[in-house]
Chains A and B, each alone.
Chain A
Amino acid sequence: DAKTTQPNSMESNEEEPVHLPCNHSTISGTDYIHWYRQLPSQGPEYVIHGLTSNVNNRMASLAIAEDRKSSTLILHRATLRDAAVYYCILRDPGANNLFFGTGTRLTVIP
């Protein structure tokens, strides 16, 4: 499984935008970039995914670098409910599993 590198932790003020970075320099041309998050005492939940182009959904935006060696998950206005561990995952189309790293723990300050 291709590796991703994320900061261990980040802090954000409530109502401010948050940019969560992920480096994946060994990404292959067919790997999808997925983001999941895990709220306290819950299972992970899907946030967003993309292949080459930037993506937006109701939860977040995903900005993918032109060379695809890095990506950024953007939460436009952080709320206290966004406090979670965020996982950046590369998904090989031939693989059926998700390979989680240790993720970034996001703390939202009121």
Chain B
Amino acid sequence: DAGVTQSPTHLIKTRGQQVTLRCSPKSGHDTVSWYQQALGQGPQFIFQYYEEEERQRGNFPDRFSGHQFPNYSSELNVNALLLGDSALYLCASSWGRAGSGWETQYFGPGTRLLVL
């Protein structure tokens, strides 16, 4: 049973460019969340997708957008890259019933983005 997979593993971009990161959830999961982890910090929630719609969003600008496909995989897009966007981007999947408080999230290994 494959866990959460992310691609690519590493990426280098320059300021002003756009980037797309991809995530495939764990088998049987239908909800995908994205997190940004700066060096030395804990992950910060960007947004969550369920039933192909953004269900909840953290405190991130509109430059960060996403999409969920019918097969539950997801993309994270970041436009107009800034140096401060350099971070590890983590994808997590879970089963979609909202608001139980106890369901666990399964994380992928992340995509490390470096913006020069």
Report if B7 contacts A (CB, 8 A). Answer: no
A101 to B41, CA, bound (A): 8
| B45 CB contacts on chain A under 8 angstroms | 97-99
| Residue pair B56, A87 in contact (C-beta under 8 Å) | no
Which residue of chain A has the shortest Cβ distance to B42 in the bound complex?
A100
Report if B98 contacts A (CB, 8 A). Answer: yes
| Residue pair A30, B101 in contact (C-beta under 8 Å) | yes
| Residue pair B105, A98 in contact (C-beta under 8 Å) | yes
**Contact surface of A with B, Cβ cutoff 8 Å:** 30-32, 34, 41-46, 49, 51, 85, 87, 91-103
| Residue pair A96, B110 in contact (C-beta under 8 Å) | no
User: What number of B residues sit within 8 Å (CB to CB) of A?
Assistant: 29
Report if B90 contacts A (CB, 8 A). Answer: yes
| A51 CB contacts on chain B under 8 angstroms | 102
Which residue of chain B has the shortest Cβ distance to A85 in the bound complex?
B42
**Contact surface of B with A, Cβ cutoff 8 Å:** 4, 31, 33, 35, 40-45, 48, 50, 55-56, 58, 90, 92, 98-102, 104-110
**Could you tell me the distance in whole angstroms from the C-beta of B53 to the nearest C-beta in chain A?**
12
A42 to B112, CA, bound (A): 11
Among A30, A42, A95, A96, the residue within 8 A (CB) of B109 is A42
| Residue pair A44, B102 in contact (C-beta under 8 Å) | no
Among B41, B43, B104, B106, the residue within 8 A (CB) of A49 is B104
| Residue pair B101, A32 in contact (C-beta under 8 Å) | yes
A101 to B43, CA, bound (A): 8
**Could you tell me the distance in whole angstroms from the C-beta of B107 to the nearest C-beta in chain A?**
3
Quick one: given A96-B48, A97-B33, A103-B42, are A43 and B56 in contact (CB under 8 Å)? no
Which residue of chain A has the shortest Cβ distance to B48 in the bound complex?
A96
Quick one: given A43-B110, A97-B45, are A49 and B56 in contact (CB under 8 Å)? no
| A44 CB contacts on chain B under 8 angstroms | 43, 90, 92, 107
